[in-house]
Structure 1
Amino acid sequence: MRHAIALTVALIAGVGLVRAEDQTFPNITHEELLKAIEAKQVTLLDANGSESYAEGHIPKAIDFEKQGKDLAAKLPADKSSLIVAYCGNEQCTAYRAAAKAAKELGYTNIKHYAKGIVGWKKSGAKIEAN
């Protein structure tokens, strides 16, 4: 019995130990993202790296790698604004760094576009290249 109680306490205490880089954020569907872009109600963070960004990104997305400490200046003043982070595809976790950075700046409505740039391109949606 003591072992069960000790294990329960350890598990409860460990719940708060989730590393920031392991955090996940709710997904946004392709259709929801398209609607938000059309309504100009989203800020996109591309976490694929500057080289990939230059080759092609979702229109108006911010190059997260390039922004670094200047990210706050690129994000909207309203902390409840929709921020969507994405990276390569559904297996990619690089988006977490961008989402985490937005969260640390106080943003509360952060989502993940899981299909990433690969899914965006496969859908036939327009991309921008620099």
Structure 2
Amino acid sequence: MAKPVLQLAIICTLALGLCVQAMAKDKFEMEVEKEAEAVSLVRDVRRGGYDVVSTPELKKWIDAGKGMTIIDTMPYEESYKKQHVPGAAQFLFPIPDMKEWDVKETGGKTQEDFVKLLGADKEKPIVIYCGFVKCTRSHNGAAWAARLGYKNVYRYLGGIFAWKGAGYPAQKIE
């Protein structure tokens, strides 16, 4: 009696292993996906005319008191109010490419409102972020800042998820 149970257990284990293996992507398939994401990101950066900044770099800039404007492009109530990079202001941008200024997509704010937030100094560093690497709200914000003539525009790719993931404190609106 033990022998059939053992055989059934072995068969089930092998079948489960084959199913999991068939469903799981191998390292080569995963690399193809990573490559596609990296190429897409590089093309966004080139098209947008801005640079990028990492989580540790941004933290160093903040700690050093570097004069810059930091902008969170996430929705106010759902995200910014709950957690944002310390010192960041909020300005909503949409996820899809915003080729023309669209007041509906920016929460009723105009291009002039954005320029006012960025300030008159076109050389001052501007850091724009959203939630995470794949979120393209920050691409829209950074591309628009560059389009408006700001020279030192950075997209903080990891956004608030990377900030929190690095263990850095977030600010919130009470």
TM-score, L = length of structure 2: 0.57
Matched, 1:58 2:99: no
Which of these residues, 141, 144, 163, is aligned with residue 101 of structure 1?
Answer: 144
Residue number in structure 2 paired with 1:129? 172
Query: Offset at 1:125?
Result: 0.9
Q: Does the 8 A contact of 1:24 with 1:96 survive in 2?
A: no
Query: Offset at 1:35?
Result: 2.1
Sequence identity of aligned pairs in percent? 34
Equivalence map 1:33-72=2 (5 Å): 33-38=58-63, 39-51=65-77, 52-65=79-92, 68-69=109-110, 70-72=113-115
Over 6 Å off, 4+ runs? none
SS of match in other structure, 2:52: coil
The higher radius of gyration belongs to 2
TM-score, L = length of structure 1: 0.74
Question: Where do 5+ consecutive residues of structure 1 fail to align?
Answer: 1-17
Residue number in structure 1 paired with 2:157? 114
Higher relative contact order (CA 8 A, sep 6+): 1
Matched, 1:86 2:113: no
Tell me how many residue pairs correspond in the alignment: 111
Query: Offset at 1:24?
Result: 6.3
Matched, 1:26 2:26: no
Q: CA RMSD in A?
A: 2.2
